[in-house]
Structure 1
Amino acid sequence: MNELQESYARAGGLHVHLLKTDKYKTNTLMLMVKAPLEKETVAKRALLANVLQNSTAKSPTRSDLRNRLDDLYGATLATDVQKKGEQHIITIRLDVANEEFLSDSTPLFEKGLSLLAEVLLEPKVSGNKFDEAVVKSEKRSLLERIESLYDDKMRYSSLRVTEEMCKDEPFGLSVYGTREQVEQLSAEELYRYYEQMLHSDRIDLFVLGEKGDPSLMSTVEDTFSKLATYQKEAKTDSVPASIPSPEVKEAREVIEKQDVKQGKLNIGFRAYTTYGDPDYVAMQVMNGLFGGFSHSKLFINVREKESLAYYAASRFESHKGLLIVMSGIEFTNYEKAVTIIKEQLEEMKNGRFTDKELEQTRAMLKNQLLETADVPRGQIEVMYHNIVSNHERTLEKWLAEIDAITKEQVVAAANKVVLDTIYFLKGEEQA
C-alpha cells in the first residue's frame, strides 16, 4: 500500500497539511477549526458554521456565492460541526476540479483557495455584527436540524443515552446545541464569538490532491495572511481530547415515554480506552466482534437467533471511550433484550469467540478503514484523529496493528468495559 506523504508547516496562522496525490480529479481543501466542547459555545459554533457558508462580503447573497462556485467548474462548498471526544470541530470543505484535466488554463486551485480564505475571514457583516437576515435564515435552518433529531427516533435515542451517561461531562452536549440556545443568539453576540474563535481556536488546513505540494506553502501564507494577525494569541499547546471517564458506581436505568410504535433500547458502557491508548485497536476489534458487523454477537444472537430486535449493533466512540449498543425492539421484549445483550458482553469477556470470527473481524475492520480513506474527506478525517488525540498513527500502522491483535488482547479489552446506563424509549400506552 502506498502511504500518503504529508508535508506540514505553520503558514498564515494555520497548521497546514499538504497531501500530494494524483489519485483524484479534484483538489480537496478542508479547514478544521477546533475548540473545547462547552455548553456556552456549542450553539454559537453550530450556527456560525451555517452563517459562514451562506455568503461573504464579496458575495453578499447565497446565489452570488453559488454562482462563483459554478464559475469554478462546479466547485462545492460545505460546512459542518462534529464532536471528537470533547472537542468541537467546525469543518469548512471546498472541492475544486484539478485544472490539469481541463482544456483551458483557469487557475482554479488558487481561486478556490482564495474563496476558502474569504469564507473564513471575510463574512458578510454590518458594523460589528453579522447580517441580520443571514443569521435569521440560518437560525431557522439549524432549528429545523435540531427538530429533525427529535423526529428520527433512532438518532434521538442515541443522543439521549449519551446525554444521560455524560450529563456532568461536556460529551453529553448535542453538537448543535439546544433550541433555546439557538433562539437566544443575536447577530452581535455571534460576531463577537466569531472574532474570539479566530483568536483562540486551533485551525488546520488540509490540501489533498495534485496541488498538495510543499511549494504551495508560500501561496497559503499570502492567502491567509489576515489570519496570522489573529492567531498570535492562539493556544497551540496540546489539549486532551476528553476528560477521563469517571468510575461507574452503579448502572442507571432511564425509561422515557413517547408516542412511538417501536421501542428504542440503547445501552451505554464505559470502555476506558481512547484513540491514544495502547489497547485502542484491541477495543476496536472487540467492538467489531461484539456488535460492529453482521457476524457479531449482537447481530447473530439478539437479532437473528432470538428475533428480539429489528436492529442490534454497537459503536465505539474513539475519543471519549464509550461503547454504545443500539437496538429497536418490541416494548414487551425489554427485559429479555437487556439480559441477552449483557450475556453477549460476558461471552466476549470469557473469550467465547472463534479464531475464524476474529480473523473475519480483522478483515472487515481493515476493509472499513480502507474504504473510509479511499475518499478525500475520509482520508483527511483519518489523519485528523492524530491531531485531536495528540497521538500519531498512520493508516499503514493502523492496518498493521489490526493484523497483530490477538485473542488475549481482545479479551483484556472486553474486561475493561463497564455498564453505565440503560436507556429505553417506549410507547406511552405501555406506561
Structure 2
Amino acid sequence: MAFIDEQLSKVNGLSLHTVSTKKFKTNTIVLKMLAPLKKQDVTYRALLPYVLQRGTKSFPTSISLRQHLDTLYGATLYVDLSKKGENHIISFRMEIANEKFLSDSTPLLEKGIKLLAEILLEPVLDGNSFKEEVVAQEKRTLKQRIQSVYDDKMRYSNLRLVQEMCKDEPYALHVNGEIDDVETITATSLYDYYQKAISSDKIDLYVVGDLDRQEVEGYVKQYFAFENNETQVSEAVDKKSIKENEVIEEQDVKQGKLNIGYRTNSTYRDDDYYALQIFNGIFGGFSHSKLFSNVREKASLAYYAASRVESHKGLLMVMSGIEVENYQKAVTIIREQMAAMKQGDFSDQELEQTKAVIRNQLLETIDTPYGLVEIVYHNVIAQINRPFDEYLQGIDEVTKEDVVKLAEKVELDTIYFLKGMGVNQ
C-alpha cells in the first residue's frame, strides 16, 4: 500500500490535491500561491498574506474572523512564506476538526473551504484599495520581521552568504523582501498587486484527511474560481563559471560566524538527488556527520557545525560558530572533510546509518499533515511526479559509488565570515 494516497484534479483554475488518510482526526487545508522571485514583487508578496488574513467581507475585523474560527470547533489559520529554488511561495494553512468524529453534524470541511476561499477572494476593501490602517499596521510588523534577521547573527550570516553567492540570481532575494521597499507600498498599490497575483500565480490547494474526494471537489468548485492561471514554476538559474570567493565582514559580535556555500549541481528533480541527501547526511547533516565529529567534537573548533541542502536550487550550505582566531583552521578542516567525501573516505556503516536517519526523518515528516503537504509539494516545484514510496526506495538504493560520484560534482563557491570588530583571524 502506498504511504501517501494523493489525487490531483484541475478545478476552476487551480490544482486540487486531495490526500485521503485515516491518520488524523482533523482535516487540513493548505493553499499555496507560487510566482517567480522578482525584486519588484518580493516585498509585496511578503506583506500580502498578512493583510489578507486580517479579515473578509463577512468577517471584516481580525476579532470577528478569529471568533468565527472559534465557532468552527477552534479551527486554526496561519500564513507563511517560503522560497524554493527561484520561486516565492505564499501559504495559507487551516486545520479544522473532522465532523465524522463529532456528535454535531456541522459541515465543518465545507465551512473551512468556504472561509479560506473568502479570505483569498473576498478581502476587506475600502473602494479599490485595502484598508489603509490594516496595511500600515502590517507594514510595521513586516519591517520588524525583516529587521529580526539582521539582529540574529546566525540567520544574518546565512542571508549574507546567499546574497554573495547568488549575486544577480533571483535566489539572492530574501523571503520577507527588502526593508527599504516596505515604505513605498500603499494600500492601493498592494491591492493592485493582489489582483495581479490572484490572476497569475500558480495555485495549488491541498486537502488532507479522512475525506470524500468528490465532496471536496464539489466544495472547491462551488467556492473557488481563478482565471486560467498561466504562471510556470521557475527553474533554477545555474551559475556558469564558479570562482572561489571569500567575504569577511566585521560587526560587533562575540562569536565568529563561518558560512560556506557550495554548488552541488544536483536538484530534487535529478536522479542523483538521493545521493545528494546521503552525501549531506554523512558530510554535515546529522550528529554522526564528519563536520560534527571532526570540526566540533575532535578539534573543538566550533560551537556548532552542520550543513544543509537547498533542494530546488542545488546549494549546500555549511554553518558554524567559531572563535575568530580559529578561522583558518576551521576552513582548512572543513575543506578536508569535503575532500574526504570526494575520495570515498567514509564507511559502509556511516552510509547505512545515514540512510536509516533519513528514512526515519521522512516518515516522521509525513506523520503531520503540514509535513505531508510539504513533501508532496516538492513534486510541483520540481515539475515531476515522484511518489513518496519511490523516494524512500531511491534513498535505500544509493551506493557508496553514487555518493562519491555526486561529491565530485560539488564545487566550493563562497566562504563568508562574520567576525568581531578589529579582531584578527
TM-score (norm 1): 0.96
The answer on 1:413 being equivalent to 2:406 is: yes
The answer on 1:330 being equivalent to 2:323 is: yes
Q: Aligned residue pairs: how many?
A: 424
Give 1:53 deviation, angstroms. Answer: 1.1
**2:207 corresponding residue in structure 1:** 207
**2:102 corresponding residue in structure 1:** 102
Give 1:214 deviation, angstroms. Answer: 3.3
Aligned residue among 269, 291, 309 for 2:262: 269
1:90-169 correspondence to structure 2 within 5 Å: 90-169=90-169
**Residues 224-258 of structure 1, C-alpha deviation per residue, up to 9 Å, x if partnerless?**
1xx23xx13x216x53431223320x211111111
Give 1:203 deviation, angstroms. Answer: 0.4
**1:25 corresponding residue in structure 2:** 25
Give 1:2 deviation, angstroms. Answer: 4.0
**Residues 203-238 of structure 1, C-alpha deviation per residue, up to 9 Å, x if partnerless?**
0100000125234212210111xx23xx13x216x5
**Aligned counterparts of 2:310 and 2:6: Cα–Cα separation in 1:** 26
The answer on 1:242 being equivalent to 2:250 is: no
**Residues 98-141 of structure 1, C-alpha deviation per residue, up to 9 Å, x if partnerless?**
11111211111111111000010011111111110110111111
Secondary structure at the counterpart of residue 105 of structure 1: coil
Query: Aligned-pair RMSD on alpha carbons?
Result: 1.1
**Aligned counterparts of 1:22 and 1:138: Cα–Cα separation in 2:** 38
Does structure 1 conserve the Cα–Cα contact (< 8 Å) formed by 2:34 and 2:233? Answer: no
**Aligned counterparts of 1:124 and 1:296: Cα–Cα separation in 2:** 51
Give 1:6 deviation, angstroms. Answer: 1.7
Does structure 2 conserve the Cα–Cα contact (< 8 Å) formed by 1:12 and 1:223? Answer: no
The answer on 1:350 being equivalent to 2:343 is: yes
Counterpart code for 2:116? L
Counterpart code for 2:18? L
Does structure 2 conserve the Cα–Cα contact (< 8 Å) formed by 1:7 and 1:214? Answer: no
**Aligned counterparts of 1:301 and 1:338: Cα–Cα separation in 2:** 12
Secondary structure at the counterpart of residue 31 of structure 1: strand
Secondary structure at the counterpart of residue 119 of structure 2: helix
**Aligned counterparts of 1:310 and 1:299: Cα–Cα separation in 2:** 10
**Aligned counterparts of 1:378 and 1:221: Cα–Cα separation in 2:** 26
Aligned residue among 286, 301, 304 for 1:293: 286
Aligned residue among 388, 395, 417 for 1:395: 388
Aligned residue among 292, 295, 300 for 1:302: 295
Secondary structure at the counterpart of residue 19 of structure 2: strand
The answer on 1:279 being equivalent to 2:272 is: yes
**1:377 corresponding residue in structure 2:** 370
**Aligned counterparts of 1:260 and 1:239: Cα–Cα separation in 2:** 39
Does structure 1 conserve the Cα–Cα contact (< 8 Å) formed by 2:284 and 2:305? Answer: yes
Counterpart code for 1:303? R
**Aligned counterparts of 2:398 and 2:184: Cα–Cα separation in 1:** 50
Counterpart code for 2:235? A
Gaps of 5+ in 2: none
**1:80 corresponding residue in structure 2:** 80
**Residues 150-194 of structure 1, C-alpha deviation per residue, up to 9 Å, x if partnerless?**
111111111110111001100011001111011211111110000
Q: Percent identity?
A: 56
Does structure 2 conserve the Cα–Cα contact (< 8 Å) formed by 1:32 and 1:91? Answer: yes
Does structure 2 conserve the Cα–Cα contact (< 8 Å) formed by 1:245 and 1:321? Answer: no
Give 1:375 deviation, angstroms. Answer: 0.4
Does structure 1 conserve the Cα–Cα contact (< 8 Å) formed by 2:262 and 2:315? Answer: yes
TM-score (norm 2): 0.98
Does structure 2 conserve the Cα–Cα contact (< 8 Å) formed by 1:33 and 1:91? Answer: yes
Stretch of structure 1 that moved more, 53-62 or 185-194: 53-62
**Residues 46-66 of structure 1, C-alpha deviation per residue, up to 9 Å, x if partnerless?**
000111111112211111111
**Quick one: structure 1 residues 212 and 82, their matched pair in 2 at CA, closer, same or farther if it must change by over 3 Å?**
farther
**Residues 357-379 of structure 1, C-alpha deviation per residue, up to 9 Å, x if partnerless?**
00000000111111111100010
Give 1:390 deviation, angstroms. Answer: 0.6
Counterpart code for 1:179? I
Aligned residue among 302, 312, 315 for 2:305: 312
Does structure 2 conserve the Cα–Cα contact (< 8 Å) formed by 1:146 and 1:179? Answer: yes
**Aligned counterparts of 1:214 and 1:412: Cα–Cα separation in 2:** 46
Counterpart code for 2:258? L
Does structure 1 conserve the Cα–Cα contact (< 8 Å) formed by 2:35 and 2:233? Answer: no
**Residues 306-353 of structure 1, C-alpha deviation per residue, up to 9 Å, x if partnerless?**
000000000011000000000000011000000000000000000000
Secondary structure at the counterpart of residue 374 of structure 1: coil
**Aligned counterparts of 2:346 and 2:148: Cα–Cα separation in 1:** 39
Gaps of 5+ in 1: none
**Aligned counterparts of 1:378 and 1:136: Cα–Cα separation in 2:** 33
The answer on 1:36 being equivalent to 2:41 is: no
Does structure 2 conserve the Cα–Cα contact (< 8 Å) formed by 1:84 and 1:241? Answer: no
Counterpart code for 1:218? G
Does structure 2 conserve the Cα–Cα contact (< 8 Å) formed by 1:20 and 1:209? Answer: yes
Secondary structure at the counterpart of residue 32 of structure 1: strand
Does structure 1 conserve the Cα–Cα contact (< 8 Å) formed by 2:36 and 2:234? Answer: no
Counterpart code for 1:174? H
Secondary structure at the counterpart of residue 35 of structure 1: strand
1:181-260 correspondence to structure 2 within 5 Å: 181-211=181-211, 213-224=213-224, 227-228=225-226, 231-232=227-228, 234-235=229-230, 238-248=232-242, 250-260=243-253
